[in-house]
Structure 1
Amino acid sequence: MASAAGRVGGSTSNIGLLMPVVGVVGLASAVLAGRRAMHVDWKDFAVRFLTGPGRTSRILLLIYVLLNTKSLPGAWTIRVFGSMIRHAVQLRKPLPPKALFHYSVTRSYTSPGETDYNLHKSNSTYFSDLDVARSQCVMHLMAPGFDKIRRNKQLRIVRDPAGAVAEGSLGVALGAVACSFKKELPPLAGFEMWTRVLAWDRKWLYTMTHFVAPAGKVRPASWDGGSFWASRGRVATVAAGEAELQGRVVASAVGKYVFKLGRFTVHPTYVLEQSGLLPERPVTGWRGGEADVHAEVELPAGAADLADWDWRRVEAERRKGMELAGHFAAIDDAHALFDGGRDGALGQFFPG
């Protein structure tokens, strides 16, 4: 999700309130538009639109709107909240533990409104697409957990170190995102965003997204059933080598989320467990009290190659992801480099 539920370190807005409000407003608007559409003579409207005075301007405007639907005012809000509402209302079926690290695939395209002076997708626009792709992945996997955690006062799942039940509205905030660009995307080029959970630590859940082009060229060996196309049998094995697959990658991004109940930071494994995505971990569990169990427990050799996705295989995959996520987390240290221009500044420039 973008920063849909607030900001780190401050007050967080209530997902349980925002999504119903947006959903009700959207439904009411759709009903109103539908009622008005019933009283329109569409044949007569089409004839006047295409042949009446000023038709050239109208047709050009229509073409522009159709080519730039994702860049229109309000489009980002519809795309992000639409994905959140969809997965909150239509909860997925139970998934096996290995699905925690599976990709969700979101298809999009480069609209002319996103094209810069080099005639390719502007670097800044990747981040709005990432908001949508992460929302699809995180909400699909964790909507069941969000639903339970937001009712923590009644279900008493999350407790603070003193043992008291954590209270407050559920917040999900984006803490950071970084994107590395490899190739350009020309105007109207179709692409896919392959997003998955990368790792987690005691505070953050890390996600990774690959922009892959052209769209439809890379397909997984199987689907978990979380899309329309999967139910239609759109399944194919990937018959490409590593070099060819990596050659399809246009850009890669890493982001991190924090979960809050009021001002209390919720360990990511609470959400993952309540979403049915973590196998049972004996003795220490997935949090292990105040001790950092992730660093203390020794994994057996070859844990990453186990056929069964027990806790050792999941933990091995998490640690593999943390090798990259740890470098990404170090970006937080950049804040300490800001000195407010103690030795001077270049100037203040406009426009901004």
Structure 2
Amino acid sequence: MSALLSKLPIPAALIERLRPVLALVPSSVPRPLKWAFFALLIINADAFPGVWHLRIIGPLMRYQLAVKLGKKWANWRVGKDELLDFTTTRTFRATPSSCDTFGAHTSNSEYAVCLDHVRGPFAFELVGEAYGIVGMSFALGGTSMDFLREIPFLAKFELCNKLLGYDRKWLYIETTFRSMPHPKTGARITYAKSMSRFVIKHGRRTVPPYRAFALTGYGAEHGAKNWAVVQQMSQKDKLRWLVGDDEQGKGSAIVCGPVERGLEDRADWPGQVKVA
């Protein structure tokens, strides 16, 4: 059994730490059975109760705590293009608990689990961090998926997120499931692509994306000027301008970009039905 464990992606130091734990198991249990039990626990650790919630909610809780403690972040978005200058990536692995039994590859349901880990942080970082209005949130309206290639058992893969476009209500975010770069050629395999539809909310009020981007300082032409105006606004001023309740206040000096953008390529987005 020790030989079997050595072939699994389990750090040797962790195996050594488990030896004292094994001593707690009654001696009547055969030693190979003990190792088999703990091996089963280790390779399925990412499926334990509470792990999913900790991974999803943990980063948001840490951010909220940092805000309450007075932490400030530099606004890197000023003057940038929201469609071209912001992407995020995160690495995953096709673990035994995430793969199906028959094909030895990542199950379809696991793609949605991975998306849970990356969509919220992406949407939040895209516009949320810069103005920090209490009560701002994002809601998922729908997801579509194109499955292209299987993700092999134990393979390491990466999720890359970018903004495809937006209309008067929705943000459209693309997530690409791809292999790690080939060590020699740098080539990647695209496993799947998804498109998620998000809406920016404050309570029951919907925030138009173009206003959120203007308030955040995006835009090469007006971004820096807009951001200078925003620095003189209170949270109440920002919120009233975002939802359109105060067009004559301090926010009246903010110059907005296009109300809708990037929609001309909508027919080619992931999950769209192609009509022959």
TM-score normalised by structure 2 residue count: 0.64
Aligned to 1:134: 119
Structure 1 residue 257 displacement after superposition? 0.7
AA partner of residue 212 (structure 1): R
Structure 1 gap segments, 5+ residues each = 1-41, 151-168, 219-237, 290-310, 332-352
Aligned to 2:171: 205
Aligned to 2:234: none
CA displacement, residues 14-57 of structure 1 (integer Å, 9 cap, x when unaligned): xxxxxxxxxxxxxxxxxxxxxxxxxxxx8993462589553444
SS in 1 for 2:132: helix
AA partner of residue 80 (structure 1): I
CA distance in 1, matches of 2:165, 2:41: 39
Q: Is the 8 A contact 2:166 2:209 kept in 1?
A: yes
Structure 1 residue 265 displacement after superposition? 1.2
Q: Is the 8 A contact 2:194 2:271 kept in 1?
A: no
**Percent identity among equivalent residues?**
24
SS in 2 for 1:256: strand
Aligned to 2:128: 143
SS in 1 for 2:35: helix
Relative CO higher for 1 or 2, CA cutoff 8 Å, sep ≥ 6? Answer: 1
CA displacement, residues 260-284 of structure 1 (integer Å, 9 cap, x when unaligned): 22322111234334444445549xx
Give the count of matched residue pairs: 217
Q: Is the 8 A contact 1:87 1:140 kept in 2?
A: no
CA distance in 1, matches of 2:22, 2:107: 38
Aligned to 1:268: 209
CA distance in 2, matches of 1:43, 1:185: 31
CA displacement, residues 275-315 of structure 1 (integer Å, 9 cap, x when unaligned): 44445549xx9x9x8xxxxxxxxxxxxxxxxxxxxx99x86
Instruction: Tell me whether 1:82 sits opposite 2:23 in the alignment.
Output: no
CA distance in 2, matches of 1:92, 1:196: 21
AA partner of residue 173 (structure 1): A
1:281-296 equivalent positions in 2, closer than 5 A:
281=222
Q: 1:187 aligns with which of 145, 153, 178?
A: 153
CA displacement, residues 30-85 of structure 1 (integer Å, 9 cap, x when unaligned): xxxxxxxxxxxx89934625895534444323322332233222222112112323
Q: Is the 8 A contact 2:87 2:161 kept in 1?
A: yes
1:1-352 equivalent positions in 2, closer than 5 A:
45-46=20-21, 48=23, 52-54=27-29, 55-88=31-64, 89=66, 92-96=73-77, 97-98=80-81, 101=84, 102-116=86-100, 117-145=102-130, 147-148=132-133, 150=134, 169-213=135-179, 215=180, 217=182, 244-245=187-188, 248-279=189-220, 281=222, 319=261, 321-325=262-266
| Inter-CA distance 324–50: structure 2 relative to 1 (3 Å threshold) | farther
| Inter-CA distance 196–91: structure 2 relative to 1 (3 Å threshold) | farther
AA partner of residue 94 (structure 1): N
Q: Is the 8 A contact 2:194 2:270 kept in 1?
A: no
SS in 2 for 1:255: strand
AA partner of residue 264 (structure 2): E
Structure 1 residue 146 displacement after superposition? 6.2
CA distance in 2, matches of 1:189, 1:330: 24
CA displacement, residues 109-161 of structure 1 (integer Å, 9 cap, x when unaligned): 1121222222211112101101111123223333324622x3xxxxxxxxxxx
SS in 2 for 1:66: helix
| Inter-CA distance 186–328: structure 2 relative to 1 (3 Å threshold) | closer
Aligned to 2:250: none
Q: Is the 8 A contact 1:91 1:143 kept in 2?
A: no
Structure 1 residue 192 displacement after superposition? 0.5
| Inter-CA distance 105–175: structure 2 relative to 1 (3 Å threshold) | same
| Inter-CA distance 43–75: structure 2 relative to 1 (3 Å threshold) | closer
| Inter-CA distance 139–60: structure 2 relative to 1 (3 Å threshold) | farther
SS in 1 for 2:168: coil
Per mean C-alpha deviation after superposition, the further-off stretch among 97-106 and 52-61 is: 52-61
Q: Is the 8 A contact 1:144 1:274 kept in 2?
A: no
Structure 2 gap segments, 5+ residues each = 1-16, 227-241, 245-254
| Inter-CA distance 61–198: structure 2 relative to 1 (3 Å threshold) | farther
Structure 1 residue 239 displacement after superposition? 7.4
TM-score normalised by structure 1 residue count: 0.51
Q: Alpha carbon RMSD of aligned pairs, Å?
A: 3.8
